[in-house]
């Protein structure tokens, strides 16, 4: 019971640490400075939604992640620019970059490195609870960002969605239950990710995706996240109605991440699968 209680508090601990960090960063860098950077220095955002909705293949958001609370260090040799370039070359539809420092050993510098060397859209994966973070995300060169329904109320989720759209960044709204899915639909989410990992205890169940996809509206882009390890997993979920897949640990733990990504996509162009 004690272990379960500790696990159930992981998400709360991450969000609390993020809020403390955010308070310091907002004092050091006013929102107006971020807005000027967005207006004057950052190239226009790439179309994240279109990248996930390409017909005829398996659309994978390949995630750059050095560590996680459940596994510790996932990848010792973590060079974001080299990884991003090789994953884009291997056919990733988009990239996701972990930028949370305390629990995932990420940083915005990782995202900036990835953005500089690739042309495909980049999602900022973090615990976003404040409009300031959306401006920070765009100023860093990201094209989309994650919103986690479990840590936001409806008005906060709606505000962060609308701000993203005003910046031509369509967020990925992540849900884990039917109740969270209903809330995401209610606030108008257009890209809905089903996380097979329960962020409260980090257990993974693919059935979560298979159960919830039936309730995702046809006009939304459906993304399955976490615990995806084989081409067969992706085919099964694609047939169930998913448009794209977010995959991190399976690829990051591989000795050759680009080869692991090609293997996941293998059957879509059988002539290239041996390359």
Residue 79's SS3 state is: coil
Q: Are 211 and 183 spatial neighbours (Cβ–Cβ below 8 Å)?
A: no
Q: Quote the CA–CA distance of 164 and 134 in Å, as a whole number.
A: 7
Residue 113 annotated to the active site = no
Using DSSP bridges, classify how beta strands 59-64 and 67-68 pair: parallel, antiparallel or unpaired: unpaired
SS3 content of the chain, % helix, strand, coil (to 5): 50, 15, 35
Catalytic residue among 96, 105, 144, 195: 195
Q: Quote the CA–CA distance of 26 and 19 in Å, as a whole number.
A: 10
Residue 77 annotated to the active site = no
Catalytic residue among 62, 86, 209, 226: 226
Q: What is the rounded end-to-end Cα distance, in angstroms, of the chain?
A: 49
Residue 218 annotated to the active site = no
Exposure string (b/e) for 181-193, b if CB count within 10 Å is 16 or more? bebbbebebbbbb
Residue 12 annotated to the active site = no
Q: Quote the CA–CA distance of 87 and 110 in Å, as a whole number.
A: 15
Catalytic residue among 96, 125, 136, 249: 125
Residue 226 annotated to the active site = yes
Q: Are 191 and 49 spatial neighbours (Cβ–Cβ below 8 Å)?
A: yes
Tally of CB atoms within 10 A around 129 = 17
Residue 225 annotated to the active site = yes
Residue 182 annotated to the active site = no
Catalytic residue among 65, 170, 180, 224: 65
Catalytic residue among 63, 100, 170, 249: 63
Residue 254's SS3 state is: coil
Active site residues: 63, 65, 125, 174, 195, 225-226
């Amino acid at each position: 019971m004690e272990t379960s209680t500790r696990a159930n508090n992981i998400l709360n601990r991450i969000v609390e640490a993020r809020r403390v960090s955010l308070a310091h960063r907002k004092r050091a860098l006013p929102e107006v400075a971020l807005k000027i950077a967005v207006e004057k220095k950052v190239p226009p955002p790439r179309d994240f939604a279109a990248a996930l909705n390409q017909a005829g293949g398996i659309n994978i958001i390949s995630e750059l992640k050095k560590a996680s609370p459940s596994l510790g260090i996932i990848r010792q040799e973590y060079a974001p620019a080299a990884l991003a370039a090789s994953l884009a070359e291997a056919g990733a539809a988009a990239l996701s970059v972990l930028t949370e420092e305390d629990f995932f050993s990420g940083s915005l510098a990782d995202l900036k490195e990835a953005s500089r060397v690739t042309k495909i859209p980049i999602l900022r994966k973090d615990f976003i609870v404040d409009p300031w973070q959306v401006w920070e995300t765009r100023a860093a060169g990201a094209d989309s960002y994650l919103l986690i329904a479990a840590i936001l109320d409806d008005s906060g989720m709606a505000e962060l969605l609308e701000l993203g759209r005003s910046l031509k960044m369509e967020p990925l709204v992540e849900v884990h239950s039917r109740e969270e899915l209903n809330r995401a639909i209610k606030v108008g989410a257009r890209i809905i990710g089903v996380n097979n990992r329960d962020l409260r205890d980090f257990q993974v169940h693919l059935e979560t995706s298979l159960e919830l996809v039936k309730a995702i509206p046809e006009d939304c882009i459906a993304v399955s996240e976490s615990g995806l390890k084989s081409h067969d997993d992706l085919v099964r979920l694609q047939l169930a109605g998913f448009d794209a897949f977010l995959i991190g640990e399976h690829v990051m733990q591989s000795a050759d991440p680009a080869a692991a990504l090609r293997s996941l996509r293998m059957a879509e162009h059988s002539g290239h699968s041996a390359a």
